[in-house]
Amino acid sequence: MSDPIQRAREGDPDAFRVLYEEHVGRIYALCLRLARDAAHAEELVQDTFVKAWEKLPGFRGESAFGTWLFRIAVNVTLAERRATGRRESRVGLTAEPEALPAAHRTPDPGAQLDMEQAIAGLPPHARAVFLLYDVEGYQHAEIAQMTGIAEGTSKAQLFRARRLLREALNR
Amino acid sequence: MTCAEFDQLLDRYLDESLDATRRAELDSHLRGCESCRILTAQMREVLASAATLPRSIRPPRDLWPDIAERLASRATQPPVRSIPWRRWAPLVAAAVLLIAVTAIVTVRLSRREPPVAVTAPREQPHIEGFAADREYVLAAEDLERVLTEGRGRLAPATVAVLERNLALIDAAIVEARAALEADPANADLRALLWGAHRQKLDLLDRATRLTRS
């Protein structure tokens, strides 16, 4: 277990900030794509790190810290959606291109934005599974554990998501 | 193989998780089916496009100040190790048994020795531990009240383990307190008593958290 993690587990907020700086990009990217709204994504990122701080003493290093944090972000996002029944913003990523970093606009900004828009148009569960499997590289068993769905459901959602994306990108 | 069957297996084909025989069947179908070749090519484009997406995007503003403020508001509640009951119960039980056994052994040993000081009434100020003892008891009572309110939310097996461990700790407290009353200057006994109190508070604290989780 690396030093900042150990020190953060012991309640050191400066060490926790080191972890925040290291991981906030990936957590924000996930939250932004799941929430489709930059302001909402920021709230989810904050909730994720606050929750991680509370749960940190229980982190035993059985998985990578990033994976553990990712799981919290997924749980926070899905739990918030369940709790509030929050309707997703109709404002898609293409309406907020400034939310995407400069590096994201190269080498083929059109294709990437098309892809982001197509992902944003997916139904929530299909979107979550696609992001976790095809963008983040998690396996169905891990996704099932993260999201609380059955492994078979994860596979079915991926099947659906990929075909919806193919249709959206080939219109 | 029909196109529908091909489509059903396409994801595993693309993920390269099919066995060689199945994969050969799909390759064979692809050679003779233009629509499935187009489908496969388009699906590959989807995956390739997904692979180019950045996995990390920096937020447009620094979110740390807001997070730090929220952490600071929790400063009075520092992180407490939260372990599932089934994992920590045996540890608590072992710790409690250790306390109880140690207390009993210590009490027996201390009874063999001549008392260092004459037993004094609890009110006398030089017996500094009794006020603290009372504070521990009051704190435990507060937690016990909270726990009683939430006890219905715990599984019966959890309640049984909890009660068994509380009974062990209480026995250790009683033993240590009695020994300390007989030997008020004994620092080891005092440490044992405070240790047992802290175990009880910790156990009650964790149990009340369980009722809220």
Question: Inter-chain contact B59–A130, Cβ cutoff 8 Å?
Answer: no
Domain co-membership, B45 together with B100: no
Distance in Å, alpha carbon of A69 to nearest chain B alpha carbon: 14
Answer whether residue B112 is part of any domain.
yes
Do residues B173 and B104 share a domain? yes
Q: Inspect the interface and report whether the beta carbons of B61 and A42 lie closer than 8 Å.
A: yes
DSSP one-letter code for A87: P
State whether B99 and B203 are in the same domain. Answer: yes
DSSP assignment letter at A10: T
Q: Give residue B173's pLDDT band: very low, low, confident or very high (50, 70, 90).
A: confident
Is the pLDDT assigned to residue A54 strictly greater than 70? yes
For B22-56, what is each residue's pLDDT tens digit? 999 999 999 999 999 999 999 999 999 888 888 89
Amino acid at A127: R
Mean of all residue pLDDT scores within chain A? 82
> Number of structural domains, chain B?
2
Indicate if B202 and B121 belong to the same structural domain. Answer: yes
Of the candidates A21, A55, A134, the beta carbon closest to that of B50 is on A134
Distance (Å, whole) CA A32 – CA A86: 15
Residue pair B132/B200 in contact (Cβ under 8 Å)? The answer is no
- DSSP code string of B104-115: HHHHHHHHHSPP
Determine, for residues A134 and B47 on separate chains, whether the beta-carbon distance falls below 8 Å: yes
Looking at the fold, whether B20 and B114 belong to one and the same domain comes out as: no
Look at residue A135 and tell me whether its pLDDT is greater than 80.
yes
Is ipTM strictly over 0.85?
Answer: no
Architecture of the CATH domain A1-88: Orthogonal Bundle (1.10)
Residue B134 maps to a domain: yes
Say if residue B47 is in the same domain as residue B100: no
Q: What is the pLDDT of residues A59-87, one digit of tens each?
A: 877 778 888 999 999 989 888 776 666 55
What is the per-residue pLDDT for B99?
A: 61
Searching chain B, which residue's CA lies closest to the CA of residue A21?
A: B64
From chain A, the residues in CB contact with B74 under 8 A are 50, 53-54
CA B149 to chain centre: 21
A156 CB within 8 Å of a chain B CB:
no
In a domain, B66, yes or no: no
Question: Phi-psi category of A61—alpha, beta or left, where left has phi over 0 and alpha has psi -120 to 50?
Answer: left
Residues 48-67 of A with CB under 8 A from B: 49-50, 53-58
Q: Is the pLDDT of residue B139 over 60?
A: yes
Which class is domain A106-171?
mainly alpha
Full residue range of the structural domain in which residue B35 is found: 3-52
- Residue the block writes with tokens 């009880």: B200
> Per-residue pLDDT averaged across A102-113, rounded?
59
Interchain contact, B43 vs A32, CB within 8 Å: no
pLDDT per position as a tens digit, B5-25:
999 899 989 988 889 999 999
B103-132: pLDDT as tens digits: 655 555 455 444 333 333 343 333 345 566
Residues 6+ apart with CB under 8 A from A48: A27, A31, A69, A72, A73, A76
Do B116 and B26 lie in a common domain?
no
Phi, psi of A87 (to 5 degrees): -75, 135
The number of beta carbons lying within 10 Å of the beta carbon of residue B62 is: 12
